[in-house]
């Protein structure tokens, strides 16, 4: 009988694959249909793509809300209809304008985009307008008005400048288009700009260092080690204290009912009862907690409300 995996596996998407290609390949590798990705990466982009398996698909939206980090190459001197070098050139800067660029001017322009800013999503994106993807409309030559969206660029670190190419690391909020950021930096400098390459190096707690390529995951399957790379769902919430329900309240938990403080047992009690356990006492007064069954299998996330009751936020039964 095939295993049914529940959790998250961090994939390093290689060039040429779409996010949907990765999901399709993993359905074959893991032998299960319930798999979802956590945000698209363009086919030419590479990098971290967390994939949710089984009941882990319930956290897809939570993962998509996380901050992300990228390493991108900005090519100054031209802009394209796709805002990256795969598109058709729309405008080019003169050689004179490019020669007037300095590293200081480039850095000053880049730094002006740090903070809360508004960004107009590109036409070549998966966003939908009236049920149609913008990219599908763009391929038909149709352009529609897009409203600016508020995003946050937490940090931009310039890694290397060899004009007209600038390599930079960007830490940003969800919904940020690095292609558009490159385009807008070029506009700010008056010489146009587009994205030459893109690598996503982090999504929330998932970093490049632990991400595996599809061939590496296939090799682990051949060795019977697939289970070793599936991160449990509760590992996504390391800051939430662990609590378990009492035996008497188990039926209420499994029906997704509200729980009282008296029905939850702190992890300190659990450690005292199980001295060999490596779990640490992390209970603090916090809003959300991870709730476990008496046998310490993960059941869901509960949120404490003003009335003192804990109410289910997301269940993983």
Query: Average pLDDT over the chain, rounded to whole?
Result: 87
Within a domain: 111: yes
255 plus 173 within the same structural domain: no
Within a domain: 164: yes
Within a domain: 305: yes
Q: Which residue in 42, 84, 184, 234 is the catalytic one?
A: 42
Percent of the chain having pLDDT more than 90? 64
What per-residue confidence (pLDDT) applies to 138?
Answer: 59
290 plus 219 within the same structural domain: no
- Number of domains into which the chain is organized: 3
Instruction: For residue 184, indicate whether it is catalytic.
Output: no
Residue given tokens 């200081």 in the structure block = 104
Within a domain: 1: no
Residue 284: CB partners within 8 Å, gap ≥ 6? 241
Residue 120: pLDDT band (50, 70, 90) is: confident
pLDDT tens digit sequence for 93-115: 999 999 999 999 999 999 999 99
Which CATH number do you get for residue 136?
A: 3.30.2350.10
End-to-end CA distance of the chain: 21
pLDDT tens digit sequence for 190-222: 999 999 999 999 998 899 999 999 999 999 999
Number of neighbouring beta carbons within 10 Å of residue 28? 10
167 plus 113 within the same structural domain: yes
Nearest to 69 by CA among 184, 174, 185: 174
185 plus 266 within the same structural domain: no
Range of the domain at 280: 237-315
pLDDT tens digit sequence for 149-178: 999 999 999 999 999 999 999 999 998 999
What per-residue confidence (pLDDT) applies to 261?
Answer: 85
176 plus 268 within the same structural domain: no
pLDDT tens digit sequence for 177-188: 999 999 999 999
* Cis before 70 (ω within 30): no
Which CATH number do you get for residue 308?
A: 2.30.130.10
Within a domain: 301: yes
């Amino acid at each position: 009988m095939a295993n049914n995996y529940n959790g998250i596996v961090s994939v390093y998407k290689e060039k040429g694959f779409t996010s949907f290609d990765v999901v399709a390949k993993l359905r074959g590798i893991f032998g299960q249909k319930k798999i979802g990705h956590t945000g698209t990466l363009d086919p030419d982009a590479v990098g971290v793509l967390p994939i949710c398996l089984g009941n882990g698909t319930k956290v897809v939206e939570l993962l998509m809300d996380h901050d992300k980090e990228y390493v991108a190459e900005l090519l100054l001197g031209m802009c394209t209809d796709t805002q990256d070098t795969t598109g058709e050139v729309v405008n080019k800067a003169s050689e004179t304008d490019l020669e007037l660029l300095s590293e200081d001017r480039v850095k000053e322009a880049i730094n002006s985009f740090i903070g809360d800013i508004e960004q107009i999503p590109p036409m070549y994106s998966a966003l939908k307008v009236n049920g149609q993807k913008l990219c599908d409309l763009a391929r038909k030559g149709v352009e529609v008005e897009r409203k600016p969206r508020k995003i946050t660029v937490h940090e931009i670190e310039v890694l290397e400048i060899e004009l007209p190419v600038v390599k930079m690391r960007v830490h940003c909020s969800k919904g940020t288009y690095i292609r558009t950021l490159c385009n807008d930096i070029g506009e700010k400098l008056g010489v146009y700009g587009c994205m030459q390459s893109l690598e996503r190096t982090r999504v929330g707690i998932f970093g490049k260092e632990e991400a595996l390529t599809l061939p590496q995951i296939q090799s682990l399957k051949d060795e019977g080690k697939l289970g070793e790379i599936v991160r449990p769902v509760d590992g996504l919430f390391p800051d939430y204290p662990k609590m378990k329900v009492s035996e008497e309240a188990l039926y209420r938990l499994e029906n997704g009912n509200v729980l009282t403080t008296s029905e939850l047992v702190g992890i300190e009690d659990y450690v005292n009862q199980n001295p060999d356990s490596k779990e640490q006492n992390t209970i603090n007064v916090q809003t959300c907690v991870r709730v476990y069954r008496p046998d310490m299998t993960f059941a869901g996330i509960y949120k404490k409300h003003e009335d003192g009751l804990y109410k289910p936020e997301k269940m993983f039964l």
